Structure 1
Amino acid sequence: MDKAIFDKVYNAKDHDVLMDAYKDWAGQYDSDLEQEGYVAPAATAAILDAYVEDKDAYILDAGCGTGQVGALLAKAGYTTIDALDYSEDMLAEAKKKNVYKKLTQADLTKPLEIADNTYDAIICVGTFTYGHVGPDSFGELIRITKNGGYICFTVREGAYEDHDYRKHMLKLEGTGCWELEELRQTDYIRGENVTCKVCLYRVAK
């Protein structure tokens, strides 16, 4: 894997730099991360699958990247999955997997043009990390999830505490917006010896 691209992605100071990095990386993203042992998508998809019984549930893959998570969910039998990502180049790669009902280019750090209570579940892998999307975006994910629906996401170790993800999670728990169902530490990228938290919340009914 090209370490220069990897470093550019995780040290991006603004969205323009980040999108430029993903434009350079999109075509090699899957093969590079497979080589590095990027196991977070499989671990997170498996956790969501354990909670969402209806295979026709309406699911959003938020920060979908090249569609690795969507492909895993489709393989598990889920039939109605939307994709959302800020990078048009990554979305173009995701489209090739032919597993998404709709693909949307949007910025998770801004209000989303999605109606309240739209999705039965949201999955978000590899997005809550350094240089990407901060914890302020949790509120939008809750808004567009149906009452009683699930939100399952990763937070890269280190960023979990340093960037206040945990603080925001607890605040939303305290105000009754969502309830923690599962919190698990797992490998993130084995080749980098990096772990992550996988968090599964149920939105208030």
Structure 2
Amino acid sequence: MYWSPSGLYEVIIHSKNESVSQMNYDLWAKKYDGDCSAFGYVVPQEVAKLCTKYVKNAETTTLLDVAAGTGELGTYLRKNEKFIGEIDILDANMEMLYLASKKNLRFRNIIRHWIKGEIPLPSNSYDVIASLGAFLPLHLPPSALQNLLTLTKIGGILIFNTRKTLSASYDEELTKVMNEIQENKRVEILEKKELILLPKVNAKPSVLYVCKKIKEL
């Protein structure tokens, strides 16, 4: 069990269903950034570096942050990496998105959407899509991986991480989807590395993927 100052991380991880999970996120929103700092959560910083490593830092570059929460990735992109492109953020939780909107990070679009099935955005429209800490039960279904690739331009980059979950069936389904998207060289994995998700609480490693879309799925 991980520990957080607010105690809400543990409550969310063990929520009994999606509706309860979202109600708990409503409660967690104002304490989220403080808990991430207490955890030593490093994934947003690392992903911000990867975004500017693999895509051109230009005003015309488009980035979608899926399950953006309070906009932590956007903070590191704008302030650390000096990213000048367009950033859209998407999340299921309005409280989280509201706090993200107050950070003056020049988001182009702030989108509330629960990802099940297709995402109501144009195909092939983003140079880079990032989704951090969201591929686990009661959050993004494994099938969302293919949906995110549909939104990614040919030659574009998808960055996401996975972690050990409490559901063997979820892990198996995600592995199946990963294998499917690599068939026929539709996607190339540029990087795969382990990061300690929450260093200050000795959490188990998170596996971070950087994928390049080679052709349509």
Normalising by structure 2, what TM-score? 0.87
Q: Which residue of 1 aligns with 2:9?
A: 6
How far residue 158 of structure 1 moved from its aligned partner, in angstroms, is 4.4
| Equivalent pair of 1:60/1:121 in contact (CA under 8 Å) | yes
Tell me, in whole angstroms, the C-alpha distance in 1 between the residues paired with 2:164 and 2:94.
Answer: 27
How far residue 159 of structure 1 moved from its aligned partner, in angstroms, is 6.6
Change (3 A) 1:29 1:116: same
How far residue 97 of structure 1 moved from its aligned partner, in angstroms, is 1.4
| Equivalent pair of 1:151/1:203 in contact (CA under 8 Å) | yes
Q: 1:197 pairs with 195, 207, 216, which one?
A: 207
Q: 1:40 pairs with 20, 43, 65, which one?
A: 43
How far residue 54 of structure 1 moved from its aligned partner, in angstroms, is 3.0
Partner SS state of residue 185, structure 1: strand
Higher alpha-carbon deviation: 21-30 or 43-52? 43-52
How far residue 149 of structure 1 moved from its aligned partner, in angstroms, is 0.3
Extract unaligned runs of 5+ from structure 1.
none
CA RMSD of the aligned region, Å? Answer: 1.8
Partner SS state of residue 101, structure 1: strand
How far residue 44 of structure 1 moved from its aligned partner, in angstroms, is 1.9
How far residue 138 of structure 1 moved from its aligned partner, in angstroms, is 0.7
Extract unaligned runs of 5+ from structure 2.
none
Q: How many residues are matched?
A: 204
Q: 1:138 pairs with 117, 125, 145, which one?
A: 145
Q: Which residue of 2 aligns with 1:149?
A: 156
| Amino acid in the other structure paired with 1:168 | V
How far residue 14 of structure 1 moved from its aligned partner, in angstroms, is 2.2
Higher alpha-carbon deviation: 26-35 or 158-167? 158-167
Q: 1:70 pairs with 52, 55, 74, which one?
A: 74
Tell me, in whole angstroms, the C-alpha distance in 1 between the residues paired with 2:95 and 2:33.
Answer: 13
Partner SS state of residue 208, structure 2: strand
Change (3 A) 1:178 1:13: farther
Change (3 A) 1:191 1:160: farther
Identity of aligned residues (%): 26
Return the structure number with greater relative CO, CA threshold 8 A, min gap 6.
1
Q: Which residue of 2 aligns with 1:110?
A: 117
- Are residue 124 (structure 1) and residue 131 (structure 2) matched? yes
How far residue 13 of structure 1 moved from its aligned partner, in angstroms, is 3.0
Q: 2:98 pairs with 82, 92, 100, which one?
A: 92
Aligned structure 1 segments of 4 or more residues deviating by more than 4 angstroms: 158-162
